[in-house]
Structure 1
Amino acid sequence: MLDMRLCFTATTVFLALYSTVVHADHPSRKSLADKHAPAGIMGDHLHDKGEWMVEYKYMVMSMEDNRIGETTISDQDAIGPAGPPGGIVVDGIQTNGGATPTQMTMEMHMAHIMYGASDDITLYTMLMMPALTMDHIRGDGNPAGRGGEFTTHNSGFGDTSLGALLRLYSTDSQDLLFNLGCSVPTGDIYRESTAPTNGMMSQPLPYPMRLGSGTFNARPGVTWKYFRDWWSGGVQFQTDLPIGRNYRGYSVSDEFRLNSWTSVLLTDNWSVSLRGEHLWRTDYDGSDPTADNLVISTNVEEFRGGYWYNLGIGTQVMARGHYFNFEFVPTIAQDLDGIQLETDYSVIASWSKAW
């Protein structure tokens, strides 16, 4: 499976290099429906000096069932056999004594603004509003008793992204861009809920239910795009690197994303796309003193990393100056550290307009 995924990435790069040699430049080529990358890609294009762009993007991710490494397990296996202290032992760590997560939905509303400071530099900022919902089953160590179900929810402002896209190299049929990006810790990272214990006591929400990272994060990246007569493609490497630890005493995962995609024009105003994404995350560094490993696996810092391979199937449409972008992104393979909820799919859709 891994060889096939690497082969997809290598094939996309080979086609780009081959086409660079055998095709001539097309001056108007970058103005057609595939001028932007698929919906799951950010920081892939510039704007002319003085040009503005506004975009609204919506993403929903569905996660269900627990997985240890590459193996899916049942909810009952995740909560462990009956009897104290409850839970299971994974990688030498006792966890899920209080509850186990069973599924999670993550929604994200994003407002994106871009401005062409010059023909070679585009500035951007993005405001994010996540809405997080997680379902659970109580374990033996829960004061409300084993077996009951409960749901926690959290929403509000997330971290704010900002930065500059810099043109490193460009021809009529190619662009090489550098993303000098970062994020600002505007998202709340500490809230409590009484739902886990059925109102008997209040507990902090675990790591995946928090709205931000709590740190300033560096987000450098590089993107190469190329355009041919009736198709185009690109390769992007993007990172998300926390700087230090937050006031709760931890830093979230380092994240590395390698994307490659191919888009095919059906008409000048309509294209379809196929994208492969390799995603790596490290485990958390440090710990929140309120994050009790025994209570639930989502509190365990060693259980936050892993590898995911996602396949994006998308379409892009231009209509009267408006640009619509859509992707359905199933997760094809994943290898998770410890025990975590596995990712099933994401849906990403956006509208944008430039003037």
Structure 2
Amino acid sequence: MLLRLIVGYCVIGVFASAAVAGPGSRRSLADKHAPAGIMGDHLHEPGKWMVEYKYMNMFMEDNRIGENTISDSSALGTSTPVGPPGPGITTDGITTNRAATPTQMTMEMHMAHVMYGATDDITLYTMAMLPNISMDHTRADFTDFTTSNSGFGDMAFGALLRLYSDDCQDWILNLGCSVPTGDIFETTSIPTGSPTAFPYPMRLGSGTFNMRPGITFKRYYDWYSWGMQFQTDLPIGHNYRGYRVGEEYRFNSWNSILLTDNLSVSMRGEHLWRTAFDGKDPEANGTMISTNVEQFRGGYWYSLGFGAQYLWGSHYFNAEIVPTIAQEVDGVQLETDYAIIASWSRTF
């Protein structure tokens, strides 16, 4: 399926390139960067720096099994198969949420991003992340409680390599990685009254070194541009708590339209595939709550992003609202509703 999508977009790009004459270099206009939810899509000239602050807020509400939303009362004490539901599967599998069920989650992310043009064809980057996560729960007696966690997340490093460029198109290889600076050992005394490890979605990092290879293609025309990107997040080994987070595969495509030289609007489609965790944290009790079931971390999500970009001298403003259009999760999980992403950057 993924291969068909990539080939399809490449074919569209070839025909579009043949149909419209290239306008020459125009990477200085408002659509010079991809929409706000995309990283690693552009390079900088040798000796040039870019600093960026990026903010993301993702909101999740209601539980889901596969493609179906379920009520809080149905989520409590749910017996669910390991992996996505299928024909003939009824109630075999894991009984979870005996103590409580999550009902809502908000994840804020503050990101500080620095890029440096090392050569004409290589740009280096690093990113520090500060997540702030809050999750609401309800118990079997329908009393509520909230847990929160915040701090320093995993840091990202990498290099962007120009594979090919001409006046109106770019191929860029992303050789990125992350290091396990995010906390996975913090505990909370809510609701048990004694220190308990946070459930998996509330931990601030992966606990492993992760490889993040990716590739980006961009094509510019007189009054619009389009691009596509395939990006991965691949953990290496298991962390000291005995598990490995799931692999992620993202395929994005977008179109941007210039309203003026300094203002553009964009639409982006994102496919996200995530696999289940491997291994198990001995402190994670999946029978008590579904967020501690390792097999219930994978699934597929499709989102649409609607954005705008504004260029003011050396300052660049980029924003998107990204509703989730379709999702099929493994087991019992909170469903993703939308994300808001905004950034400011400056080159010098």
SS at match of 1:219: strand
Q: Report deviation, 1:148.
A: 1.6
SS at match of 1:39: coil
Distance between the aligned counterparts of 2:25 and 2:234, measured in 1?
37
Question: Match for residue 90 of structure 2?
Answer: none
Contact preservation (8 Å) 2:49, 2:116: yes
Question: Match for residue 82 of structure 1?
Answer: none
Question: Match for residue 122 of structure 1?
Answer: 123
**Which residue among 285, 289, 300 is the counterpart of 2:282?**
289
Question: What count of residue pairs does the alignment treat as equivalent?
Answer: 336
Pairwise mapping of residues 23-38 of structure 1 onto structure 2 (< 5 A)?
23-38=20-35
Pairwise mapping of residues 1-355 of structure 1 onto structure 2 (< 5 A)?
13-79=10-76, 87-91=77-81, 92-139=93-140, 146-197=141-192, 199=193, 201-355=194-348
Distance between the aligned counterparts of 2:270 and 2:97, measured in 1?
31
Instruction: Report the AA paired with residue 160 of structure 1.
Output: M
1:310-350 superposed Cα distances (whole Å, 9 cap, x missing partner): 00000000012210000000000000000000000000000
Q: Report deviation, 1:246.
A: 0.2
Q: Report deviation, 1:14.
A: 4.5
1:131-159 superposed Cα distances (whole Å, 9 cap, x missing partner): 000000123xxxxxx32210000000000
SS at match of 2:37: coil
1:261-317 superposed Cα distances (whole Å, 9 cap, x missing partner): 000000000000000000000000001000111110000000000000000000000
Instruction: Report the AA paired with residue 119 of structure 1.
Output: D
Unaligned runs of 5+ in 1: 80-86, 140-145
1:205-235 superposed Cα distances (whole Å, 9 cap, x missing partner): 1000000000000000000000001000101
SS at match of 2:228: strand
Contact preservation (8 Å) 1:12, 1:261: no
What root-mean-square deviation, in Å, do the aligned CA atoms of Structure 1 and Structure 2 show? 1.6
Question: Match for residue 142 of structure 1?
Answer: none
State the identity as a percent: 65
Q: Report deviation, 1:202.
A: 2.6
Distance between the aligned counterparts of 1:190 and 1:345, measured in 2?
28
Distance between the aligned counterparts of 1:22 and 1:193, measured in 2?
59
Q: Report deviation, 1:23.
A: 3.1
Q: Report deviation, 1:17.
A: 1.7
Unaligned runs of 5+ in 2: 82-92
Distance between the aligned counterparts of 2:75 and 2:242, measured in 1?
28
Instruction: Report the AA paired with residue 325 of structure 1.
Output: N
Distance between the aligned counterparts of 1:23 and 1:90, measured in 2?
52
SS at match of 1:30: coil
Distance between the aligned counterparts of 1:228 and 1:25, measured in 2?
6
1:105-164 superposed Cα distances (whole Å, 9 cap, x missing partner): 00000000000000100000000000000000123xxxxxx3221000000000000000
Question: Match for residue 85 of structure 2?
Answer: none
Instruction: Report the AA paired with residue 39 of structure 1.
Output: A
Distance between the aligned counterparts of 1:125 and 1:181, measured in 2?
9
SS at match of 2:191: helix
Instruction: Report the AA paired with residue 62 of structure 1.
Output: F
Q: What's the TM-score once normalised by structure 2's chain length?
A: 0.94
1:156-203 superposed Cα distances (whole Å, 9 cap, x missing partner): 000000000000000010000000000000000022112123x3x332
Distance between the aligned counterparts of 2:136 and 2:54, measured in 1?
25
Q: Report deviation, 1:11.
A: 7.1
SS at match of 2:27: helix
Contact preservation (8 Å) 1:270, 1:316: yes
Q: Report deviation, 1:88.
A: 1.7
Instruction: Report the AA paired with residue 135 of structure 1.
Output: D
1:39-91 superposed Cα distances (whole Å, 9 cap, x missing partner): 00000000000000000000000000000000000111111xxxxxxx12111
Q: What's the TM-score once normalised by structure 1's chain length?
A: 0.92
Distance between the aligned counterparts of 1:33 and 1:12, measured in 2?
23
Distance between the aligned counterparts of 1:19 and 1:280, measured in 2?
28
SS at match of 2:111: strand
